[in-house]
Structure 1
Amino acid sequence: MCGISVSIALDRRQRQPCTPETRAELEAKLSKSLDLIAHRGPDAKGIWINDDASIGLAHNRLSINDLSPSGNQPHHSPSNKIHAVINGEIYDPADALRTTLSSPPHNYTFHSQTDTELVLALYSAYGAPGFLSHLRGEFSLVLYDEDTGKVILARDRFGIKPLFWTVHEGRLLVAAEAKAFLAMGWVPEWDVGAVVEGVWQVGERTLFRGVNKVAPGGWVEVGVDGGMVGGKYWDLEYADKREVETRSVEEMVLGVRERLIEAIRLRLRADVPIGIYLSGGIDSSLLAGIVTHLVRDEGIKMGNRDATSRICCFSIEFPGEKIFDESDIAERTANWLGVQILKKRVDETAMAENFADAAYHCEHHNMDLNTVGKFCLSTVPRDNGFKVVLTGEGSDEHFAGYSFFIPDMLREPDLAMPESALSKDPALREQLQERAQRDLDALLSSRAGAFNHRMGDAEAYRDVNDVRLLGWAQAWQPTLHMFTPWARERWAASSSAVAQANEMSPEAKEKIRTKWHPLHASQYLWSRSLLANNLLTCLGDRTEMAHSIEARPPFLDHVLSEYVNGLPPSVKLAYTPEEENLDRKGGMPWENRQNITKAFTEKWILREAGKPYITKELYERKKFPYVAPNRWPKDGPMHKKLREICTQEAVEELGFVDWDIVREALDNAFGEDADSLAFRVLLVVGGWVAIGQRFGVRRAELGA
């Protein structure tokens, strides 16, 4: 993975020679921009500027494949007419793409063994946006074609790798992180509307006014006249709910297993050591189990290490927090596999010390300290000589691992499997649906400390076939009471659910209303909102790349996902009310043992596909989400840190947050009788303050 910073003159119709001073000024800005994101690529730094300084491409390199200087960027085509900076990994099974592109009629001459050079070759062969459909992996890129004058921006299918853009003084600025824009003269301002309505979690806006994301699976073309057009080259698709499944369950289980193994095998290719993030859950444990099988039984290299080198896993430990700490289970898994495990002990002091840095790197607020934990964990592989880790992100999205998918699973029968218990008994399904909705309401609002939006906006729900996930997703969005009177008044008539529904494409909403089962619609909504714009940032790219760690998530392999998305809902979230299922260990720390979620086995088909590679304990264990402790003592390190950050002066300098709410939260968020919601208020506001101060964000004002 790497860092990208790009500056493009929007109007390039009349090219004029530039002075040495103009060129030197642009180069200096790009260099300083790279310095601000040097953590993304500390191994090499490259800058290319065209003759009239209308185009400047800059790149920080984290060398993973082909460690020689030939892998440095920007990349240039053999004709020296196509230039690109690329962040990420492109996987080429059996070097099939490289072989095809170097043969007639393409005859592309490769100059390195880097995977990213495939981008230039594919563009030369298929043009834009056609070349993007051939890319398999996690990436973001900027490509400049001298012959056409066009610039192409693009991002991987799930949004694993970031790419932002803004316009400043007649130039389009593009970067892997918004902080890179600071060196280019950009002055940040809050996008208060995006914050209040929560649309930064769904669409292309961010917390910063005028700063946009390239959408997951999206591309943007910038013409010589500065015109920008774009679209999607890929989107999630699901089986038609009206079609009966004809495959056997055994065939589906084998199909998942084969594709998951292939996705992992592809991600073991590197010229540096590769490790594994291991928690107490099935996802990372399954990765570790399959990797162990591939290395020991098939002789596959894990990065540049062969089977004689010990497989290494990394896990987080919350000392003294038995409910939240999964490190003991992770250690039992490692011992069962015979692999090494290194733990990162993250206590309250570590949480407090790293809170502001984590917020700065994430560039958005979070309502849980799990992001700080991941930020701390990512120091461990770096300190032990690893640059690459495998991670389990994406499994819950594809295999229905979250309990809040259950109400949507129950909204309609699974017609793909008409003989299933819930399809044959509509009364039972409707009864369970009512209970599930009631249980989840209570779980999120009263026990989890989530933000309660009352989740009842009929307009928004009609737009997405009454899928309830639209409501559950608001639990991560601060409620209107936190904001200043002017902000509350301005957005009083708006609804975050409606605003977020409006950000979705008409094509997707039509499929949600007519084609997809509500469970699949729910999975789509989550994947295109919180997964892409929150989890893959604060629990993915930003907290890992802050320490120069490249993470590879095999569950987000699009070939695997396309197969899984074509499976019936009932094999993902299975109704299993047997007594042994009700007694499964795990679940959310605040769950009631009689909760309706106990009657379902989440990720059922993944458990079956992974059974040979995991322990019996994990096969039988209920999903336990990665969350951090949210109760801390009064006047302890966390309380002191948030008091230090959330001062009246600092909060009022934001311009859109009600100080009285924060003051009350500081009084109520700690101690034995702590209010969980008050604690989450402080985490969110503390994140805004940390970002605002480090970025120098202007105070938000009425009318802005």
Structure 2
Amino acid sequence: MCGISCILSLANDASHQHTRDLPNGTHGDAAKPNGKRERLEEELKASLEQIRHRGPDATGTWISDDCRVAQPTNASPLPPRLALGHVRLSINDLSPEGAQPFHSPANTPGIHAIVNGEFYDYDAIRAHLEAVTAYPFTSRSDSEIIIALYEHYGLNFTDWLRGEFACVIYDERKQLLVAVRDRYGIKPLFWTVQEVKDQRGKGTGERRLLVASEMKAFLPLGWEPEWDVRSLKDAGWNHDTRTLFKGVQKIRPGHYMTCQSFGRIEERPYWDASFPDKRTPDLRTLQELIEGVRQRMLDAVRLRLRADVPVGIYLSGGIDSSVIAGMVAHLVKEQNVAVGSAPPSDRVTCFSIAFEEDSGYDESAIANRTAEWLGVKYVKKLMNEEELARRFEDAVWHCEQHNPDLNFVGKFALSEVPAEAGYKVVLTGEGADEIFAGYPLYLPDYLREPDLAWAQHNSLPEAERAQHLQLAEEAAREHYRCIGADAGDGAVSVPRRMLNGISTVSSMTAFQPDVFAPWTDEVHPACDPQMTIASNADGIARGHISKDWHPLHAALYVWSKGHLPNIFLTCLGDRTEMANSIEARTPFLDHILTEYVNNLPPSVKLRWQPAERRFVEKWILREAARPFITQELFERRKHAYAAPTRWPRGGPLYVLMTGLVSRENVEGLGFVSWEKVGGLVEAAFGPEGDARALRLALVVAEWVVLAKRFRVRRAEAGG
């Protein structure tokens, strides 16, 4: 797992007509092509330093000569157009041969690539390539296969990639840059087009495409962050490709972006989730479905144990991480599978954090019982209020966005535990709820229509479905009221009608920070987060949602396009893990597994248990994993990972929030109303702490942290 940064000068810019007009007011010798190269190299190295945490083991750069651009006869060499940078976290092939960028062998002009992430089953892919091509591999790195795949299959190379990744390929011959992101957005990839200014702040006429693993990598390149207030108000940062900052976007999961001939930029899909027609009966037996999940899960876990360093496991008190731990223990004991570079004789090691026992959020006792039952080593760290407060600002800086819960700080702290034990890789349970329907908010959409695909095996009598739907919707509204959120009055809005009436849309927008200054309503009217969600699904997907897919599957789809990549795989995934140089691998998001699970009937994901008079979430996962988990976990209900929401007045978090959510800091943001947030901290802390006030205070405090660390200019009505 690594970090990447890329700078590409775009066509017809002044730097390739008048080399004296350079970024940051460079003059004299630097105005010559060689000076330009030196300046570009300095910028690139500074950019990589900002994301050094992603790859502390090595640095690699490549800067083009002139990208073989056609020139008039006797013309001077053009300054370099492209720079690729890479910081390496050495996991597969620890030798120097595994360093990046990778280059096609002995080809001039050639193909160059930088990779962040892991490609699984790469031995089989490499054997295939060696059989059908003469590509001379120079390393044992999984990342090297990308150039050979691209050379042989062109843009179809993405079909062969299995894992979590973000990559940039540059083909000098075609003057084609390709940036690709994995199917679920496990790995981040940002881009922006920069209008370069000189030292006096005047435009030089140069435009550059910047691509990087994190937005902070753009700061040394002259990027000047500005708040995207509309994105904040209609939740574009959470539910589409926008971020908190103007002009900076995320490449969509399952998409690749191309820049052809230093000009035209396009983004296209190479993969998307799909679901079966809700009217078509599934004729498979229940045992066949359970065994199908079990074998694909074991395969996904087995592939992710391959590494040249030890591999650990995150273990909480929930079923998801426990399934991973149980399957790893099974593979080690029964099939003699090695856990990374550790031999099978070594004990599997699991990592966790624990909150105070009386907080109501501590699951470490259950995790400890699981570890004892599995016979694995269990390492945990206590996380109290002081520890959360101490890490808060750094965690925000690494996430680069806000989160109305302190759980991301807990995950940031959790990633320290394997790092302190000398581990670089962990397996984690993210994605199970999104694939197997684990969240209670999915229940109303499961009940919205009968499950015709599984009618003869469905344990829920059709005559009772409407009654359960009403109860589920009432329970959902009460749940959100208790946590300080608002899922609305249940009315079916236009966005919901666009998505076949599913209420998950309302749940996804239940918490919206209503703290904006009055001028934002005038400048950015009619902001509607639900419409953002509905519009984020393309017309083809909305057609399937309206006509073909069961509402539960529609809910899973829209959630996986918004909250999953933009919150759970960010604040609770890559960003808080890579902050401490930890690579997290997510077996539940193996696309071979998810494509199988997506095609299962809804009623094996959420299942009615008549004897217990309750619905069981992730039912088929529980059945498939039953041999590998305790009875306690098999029967345990879903508990979302969250941090405590009640804290004493006068404690470390109170002091921290009081200092951050001050009138001066809030008014310095420009888009937040002090009248709306001035009393939040006092309302949030104390014996009767207001959960919504705490969530709002956290969000505002996080904006303040980002404003200071990113040096974001104050938002203005005319800006």
User: If the TM-score is normalised by the length of the shorter chain, which range does it land in?
Assistant: over 0.9
1:680 equivalenced with 2:695 (yes/no): yes
Aligned to 1:122: 149
Alpha-carbon distance in 2 for matches of 1:109, 1:24: 32
Query: What pairs with 1:559-570 in structure 2 (closer than 5 Å)?
Result: 559-570=592-603
1:68 equivalenced with 2:95 (yes/no): yes
Aligned to 1:338: 375
Query: What pairs with 1:401-480 in structure 2 (closer than 5 Å)?
Result: 401-421=438-458, 424-425=461-462, 427-444=463-480, 446-451=481-486, 456=491, 458-478=493-513
The gaps in structure 2 that reach 5 residues or longer are 20-31, 67-79, 196-206
Q: Is the 8 A contact 1:413 1:422 kept in 2?
A: no
Give the one of 524, 530, 540 matched to 1:507.
540
Alpha-carbon distance in 2 for matches of 1:77, 1:651: 52
Alpha-carbon distance in 1 for matches of 2:521, 2:646: 29
Aligned to 2:261: 224
| Residue 575 of structure 1, CA deviation | 1.1
Give the one of 29, 43, 65 matched to 1:51.
65
| Residue 177 of structure 1, CA deviation | 0.1
Letter in 2 for 1:567: L
Q: Which runs of 4+ in 1 moved over 6 A?
A: 12-17
Alpha-carbon distance in 1 for matches of 2:703, 2:116: 27
Aligned to 1:176: 213
Alpha-carbon distance in 1 for matches of 2:512, 2:359: 28
Give CA-to-partner distance per residue, 1:355-410, whole Å, 9 cap, x none.
11111100010011000000011001011100000000000001000000000000
1:31 equivalenced with 2:45 (yes/no): yes
Alpha-carbon distance in 2 for matches of 1:223, 1:12: 13
Aligned to 1:593: none
Give CA-to-partner distance per residue, 1:96-120, whole Å, 9 cap, x none.
210111123x221111000000111
Q: Is the 8 A contact 1:417 1:568 kept in 2?
A: yes
Alpha-carbon distance in 2 for matches of 1:43, 1:476: 40
1:153 equivalenced with 2:153 (yes/no): no
Aligned to 1:84: 113
1:132 equivalenced with 2:132 (yes/no): no
| Residue 419 of structure 1, CA deviation | 2.2
Task: Out of 35-44 and 301-310, give the one that drifted further.
Answer: 301-310
Alpha-carbon distance in 1 for matches of 2:6, 2:358: 45
Give the one of 642, 647, 653 matched to 1:638.
653
The 3 A distance-change label for structure 1 pair 407 and 73 is same
Letter in 1 for 2:99: N
| Residue 506 of structure 1, CA deviation | 0.8
Aligned to 2:200: none
| Residue 225 of structure 1, CA deviation | 4.1
Aligned to 1:282: 319
Alpha-carbon distance in 2 for matches of 1:12, 1:269: 46
Aligned to 1:8: 8
| Residue 232 of structure 1, CA deviation | 0.5
Query: What pairs with 1:507-546 in structure 2 (closer than 5 Å)?
Result: 507-546=540-579
Give CA-to-partner distance per residue, 1:317-348, whole Å, 9 cap, x none.
00233520000000000011111111011100
| Residue 620 of structure 1, CA deviation | 0.6
Q: Is the 8 A contact 1:422 1:428 kept in 2?
A: no
Letter in 2 for 1:24: E
Aligned to 1:296: 333
Alpha-carbon distance in 2 for matches of 1:19, 1:660: 54
Alpha-carbon distance in 2 for matches of 1:513, 1:349: 49
Aligned to 2:347: 310
Alpha-carbon distance in 2 for matches of 1:284, 1:457: 36
Alpha-carbon distance in 1 for matches of 2:459, 2:242: 40
Query: What pairs with 1:536-685 in structure 2 (closer than 5 Å)?
Result: 536-579=569-612, 599-685=614-700
Q: Secondary structure at the match of 2:267?
A: strand
Give CA-to-partner distance per residue, 1:630-653, whole Å, 9 cap, x none.
100011111111111111111111
1:101 equivalenced with 2:129 (yes/no): yes
Q: Secondary structure at the match of 1:240?
A: coil
Q: Is the 8 A contact 2:281 2:454 kept in 1?
A: yes
| Residue 510 of structure 1, CA deviation | 0.8
| Residue 578 of structure 1, CA deviation | 2.3
Aligned residue pairs, count: 679
Alpha-carbon distance in 1 for matches of 2:490, 2:114: 43
Alpha-carbon distance in 2 for matches of 1:485, 1:164: 31
Alpha-carbon distance in 2 for matches of 1:424, 1:381: 48
The 3 A distance-change label for structure 1 pair 339 and 533 is same
1:355 equivalenced with 2:392 (yes/no): yes
Q: Is the 8 A contact 2:239 2:532 kept in 1?
A: no
Q: Is the 8 A contact 1:418 1:424 kept in 2?
A: no
Alpha-carbon distance in 2 for matches of 1:494, 1:171: 31
Alpha-carbon distance in 2 for matches of 1:703, 1:397: 41
Letter in 2 for 1:118: I
Alpha-carbon distance in 1 for matches of 2:364, 2:209: 46
Letter in 2 for 1:692: A
Aligned to 2:139: 112
Letter in 2 for 1:152: V
Q: Secondary structure at the match of 2:271?
A: coil
Letter in 1 for 2:469: Q
Q: Is the 8 A contact 2:533 2:558 kept in 1?
A: no
Alpha-carbon distance in 1 for matches of 2:148, 2:262: 26
Alpha-carbon distance in 2 for matches of 1:497, 1:15: 45
| Residue 662 of structure 1, CA deviation | 1.6
Letter in 1 for 2:174: T
Q: Secondary structure at the match of 1:109?
A: coil
Alpha-carbon distance in 2 for matches of 1:416, 1:613: 29
Alpha-carbon distance in 2 for matches of 1:60, 1:45: 5
Percent identity of equivalent pairs: 50
Alpha-carbon distance in 1 for matches of 2:63, 2:12: 14
The gaps in structure 1 that reach 5 residues or longer are 583-598
Q: Is the 8 A contact 2:255 2:271 kept in 1?
A: yes
Aligned to 2:25: none
Q: Secondary structure at the match of 1:321?
A: helix
| Residue 498 of structure 1, CA deviation | 1.4
Give CA-to-partner distance per residue, 1:497-548, whole Å, 9 cap, x none.
1132122211111111011100000000111100011110000000000000
| Residue 451 of structure 1, CA deviation | 4.7
Task: Out of 80-89 and 318-327, give the one that drifted further.
Answer: 318-327
Q: Secondary structure at the match of 1:116?
A: helix
Alpha-carbon distance in 2 for matches of 1:88, 1:208: 25
1:488 equivalenced with 2:541 (yes/no): no
Give the one of 239, 255, 267 matched to 2:304.
267
Alpha-carbon distance in 2 for matches of 1:437, 1:659: 35
Alpha-carbon distance in 1 for matches of 2:230, 2:488: 17
| Residue 577 of structure 1, CA deviation | 3.8
| Residue 607 of structure 1, CA deviation | 0.4
Aligned to 2:73: none
TM-score with structure 1 setting the length: 0.95
Query: What pairs with 1:191-270 in structure 2 (closer than 5 Å)?
Result: 191-270=228-307
Q: CA RMSD in A?
A: 1.5
Alpha-carbon distance in 2 for matches of 1:476, 1:332: 35
Alpha-carbon distance in 1 for matches of 2:511, 2:62: 41
